[in-house]
Structure 1
Amino acid sequence: MIINLFSRVVPAIALFSASVMMAQNYQTMPITSGLTADVIANGIGSSTVSTNNDVDGVSYAFVAKDFQLTSTSAAITYGIPLDGIINSVVATTPGLSFQLASLNANNSLRLAAVNDVGTLTFTAPKAVTKLYMLAVSGSGTSTVNVVVNFTDGSSQTFSGISLADWYGGSNFAIQGIGRIKKPGATPAAGDDVPSPEGGTNPRLYQSELVIDAANQAKPIQSVTITKASGSGLPNIFAFSADAYSDCAPPVLQAVSGITANSALVSWTGNAASYDVYHSTSNTTPTGSVTPTYPGVTGTSTTIGGLNSNTTYYYWVRSNCNTATGQSVWSFAGTFKTACSTFTVPYTENFDTTSVGSNTSTNAPSCWAYLESTSFAGYGYVAASNSYSAPNSYYLNNSTGTAGSQMLVAPPTINLSDGTKRVRFYARTGTTGTTLVIGTLSNPADPASFTQIGSPVSLTTTHTQYTVNIPAGSDLQLAFKHGLGGTSRAIYIDNITVQTIPSCLEPTAVTASNVTLNTATIGWTAPASVPANGYEVYYSTTNTAPDAATVLNAANSVTSATTSAPLNSLAADTNYYVWVRSVCSGTDRSIWSESATLRTGYCLPSSSSQSSWLSAFSSTGSLIDMAYSSGSSVAGGYQNLTATNNKIINAPGATTSVSFTAGGPTCGIGVWVDWNNNLTFEASERMFVTNTYITNTSGSITVPAGTPLGSYRMRVVTDYNSTAPSNACAAISRGEFVDFTFEVATSLSTSETSLKKKEITVYPNPFKDILHVADIKDVKSVTVTDVAGRVVKTIDNPTAELQLGELNAGLYIVTMNFKDGSKSTVKAIKK
């Protein structure tokens, strides 16, 4: 049996990590005397005021974060920390830090020449196992010798310690702290200007001095440092230590008594008392950290005041009756507090939980995947088949046809008091697969499952289900796979546990009879039909209504039945619709799940517009069109039905059409919605290519008996299809353009006027000059090639268009009239 109880009680043993090493007793070693130079510029004013020396012998010093040349100078974001604490980033000494001396006084032991020597005396002598030196060498590397002086008069010598140049060295404790050049007698332009030095320089380095075992119990009084060799200038800033103790740390035992806000931790040892420290971070505490529970007598204590469903880390150290007093901190222990019992309502949509797999089952925090011993199936959060993107919960029984697998909800207050219900969406990959809803008396035992009602028979479409939870004693809800055949997949999403409302909401909201401006909304009545009917709210944004939403005549209607008409809708617009029950003047249900509708034709799209409809023209109609474009628009869809781009022809008549694809070759298809039902059916595809083309031609025949009127015509240009078959697709490259195809037996006055504006050009083909038959109302002429590129524009043209510079080929010549209308013809240059 697999139990995956994320953030329920961790099994009753503490979780120890082998990668967490025993904590070190790091302590700073404050210096009381021996520093000889102030090499850190700080505060307001010239660096010559706040320093008395440099780091490198050529006037460069460190800079602190508060340095400003004047009070109006821009603040810097780098530099030595103002508190002088350097937290080392050396990976082998996590938690080690150094304390610099005052930034307003000498803060470096500066050794300029070979054999220069200095002694740093510590404020409080300490016994240590390791000593750490924070130092750097300016203007090149150097080598120093260090003598560690103990309080009993003995010493230990460390020879040949190499110090890296303050630029570019390894094993640095800190980097990117910047520097500044101190002005000389004749200041230069770059003096007193702090520089971040690329954010990685200069640096301070950490050197480790391991104290011999025979000396580890001896307190260190001072260190004497001598420059041994090298061209660089040693600067020694601070020391820290791993303090010695002969007091053994305790050994942690299993954690017990874990609740939502406390845990009982215990250990073994024989010390007089113990300190306990806990944190949500697994950062090893330093020796100077303040314990959470100091001076605990005995070998256990309860850590309280914790947050539920949270991972904690803890350490214990001994307080011994010896001169050295304290042990180092123990190894780290860890535990996770239990989940608090959930109150209703609560919802889980699985979208914030990491995705699992069939070899790594998982569940959201405080939920669990539970299965019988050796069950073959699996359950986990999946990034697919969701009702609301991106995730759902996936159960698959694999070859398991007996036993149990289920998703277990968190413990819930008063779950089985007879007033609660669960609502959820679910679907299956095999129609008829069942999902069983029930409760558990023991969340770790599948056999404690009690079924509620009949199994839910799922379909391949996400459907919302509501199950009332009967009175009983169980606190945990479970969703159990109904098994059946092998490899039955179930997807669950958007689970809500809530109190059963006094006024029940309608379900299964749908839209039908949709036109450009109207629609009919229908729904299923709840089990208890509301006495005062229903309210229907609609919006062009997918924001669900709430208590603050004001219903009015522009966004809502009421109904006494299970349907309602919506009128005066905007054409070609997406709408979202919700319905609620009105049980009384003060009692309304929650809003239903939303339904969507579109008052118009589907919205296709293209992720790339590098291919498009460059030209589309017709001949032989009552009114012909000549469309051209040098590019597409973002999204790859244009609705041009409100323009003059239309064809007019009679029922049963045939129109000759020709097309040009912009960019590389494409497939082209044309649909006309002859039945005006806002859908482009397969039978309404009136033209299609059967190979990739740049230029092609064909015809469109108006079906005999087609009523007079206007019809939507959609042209699809698809880079990836020789024969486009879907007028509503989301394609990767191409364009969709909507035009009007009008069926008429004669022309109106305006259409006759438009017909008269058609211009004749000759000769065609032409050599150099193209003649225009009637130029008097033409304002300008635009000439484009078959790729849609404008190759020439002529303002205030004459009847003779000089086009001799054009290459041989087909061109689209557009006459732009003074009244804003256009006429387009094709012309061939020989």
Structure 2
Amino acid sequence: MIKNLFFMFLLFWGTAQLQATNKTGNNFTKSAFTIPTNLTVSNITYTSADITWDPVPGATGYLVRWRASTSSVWTTMNIPAGTTSVNLNSLTPCTGYILEVIDTASGDVSFPLSFYTYLNYCKSMSTMLGALYLSNVTIIPSGGLPTMVSASSATNHTDFRPDLTRRIQLGLGSAGNVISVQPSWSGTPGTAYIRAWIDFNANEIFEASEMIISTIVDSTNPKSFVFNVTPFATIAQCGTAMRVMISQDMPGGPCGTFTYGEVEDYGVIFVNTNLAVNETTKSKEFTVYPNPVSDVLQISGLSEETDYEIYSVSGQKTGGGRTFANKLDVSHLTKGVYFIRFKNKETLTRLKFIKK
């Protein structure tokens, strides 16, 4: 009798444990299927981006949330069931963002997706890590602009554009800029192909005409190359980019994958060094007033209508045209320091003014 009771107890206890295990397993399976996956970002501009993800079976809706990487405050948007994409707009230019998608019913959160609101370039990377890589890239600009030194370990691809310490400054129309690269091997050193491009026209394409290096290197000493910057390079809102590629085999181009090597992207800012003005040597021919100015800038010393261009202190062109009645409307400019350049016959005059 006692044995029968003990047997019944074991049978009951085992059944209960099996049911509990099945319940836990079902919950785990359900949770795994309610995590939004495969988040992708495309069509990135300075102020917008498109986000997509895979549908969650039986989802009743989603919550998309995003924030600047330097902020802890989330912006949220509710997405109805059956929709697995969203366009984000009114983003801040030149900013890194973190985004997550939440399944409303379960509360499960996707892995975070990171992206940056600036020029969106084609992807390029190696498929084998560490065998061949760039241990150092150094840019020495001409004209006294700061040197950029980037020492790094092996990766398939690294986007250094958000790193301000690796931001490259180059003068418009400058000659004699130097790029130095140091290839490294994890095994026996050999030879490798080095290519580098700068997107001079800021059109998100590394064109053949924008290639500044295409050569074969070995392991003996850093390799240095001289390159020039076209005077017609574009001063873009968030700058542009340089791509440096090292590969065991001849690369097919700036995009796509290859086996052994590495790709590194760097942010580039073009500086109009001709805008520098020494306040002690202002032109005696032209003056502008009032300075600071609110709305209308008066010009003294003009005998006829003259072409002009206005630049910000970063070298970005903010306006231009032809003078009229010795006056310029600058009400549209934001507060700050600006340079105005007049071309009167063969004379080029640059003056500085402050918009208040």
TM-score by length of 2: 0.44
Bigger share in helix: 2
TM-score by length of 1: 0.21
Higher relative contact order (CA 8 A, sep 6+): 2
